[in-house]
Amino acid sequence: MSDSFEIFTVNVLPADLQYDVEGDLSLLEAAEMSRVQLPSSCRNGTCRTCLCRLVSGEVTYTIEWPGLSAQEKAEGYVLPCVARPTTDVVLDQPDASAS
């Protein structure tokens, strides 16, 4: 038996919420499974409703170029609906809540 996926921990500020992401789930999908509410709408990286800042950690995207400008990416903004963690991450999302 082998480890098929790593598990990464996500901390969401300023609400101080925490959840784990396992496998190939996006940050948003894992949040919902953990009863953490993040703003969302389209779920495909275009509407920007879920836009938040990546305080620390790293992500990859499920699409080639998510709906972020180069400047936003450089400033650390991410779209959780199409972002998968590659490390533990800390997100700044003032509208997050526990459900």
pLDDT digits (tens, 9 = 90+) for 19-33: 999 999 999 999 999
CB count in 10 Å sphere of residue 32: 16
pLDDT digits (tens, 9 = 90+) for 59-90: 999 988 788 998 999 999 999 999 999 999 99
pTM for the predicted model, two decimal places: 0.92
Q: Tell me, what's the pLDDT at 26?
A: 97
The alpha-helical segments, DSSP class H, found in the chain are: 27-33, 70-74
Question: Where do the domains of the chain lie, and which CATH numbers do they carry?
Answer: 7-98 (3.10.20.30)
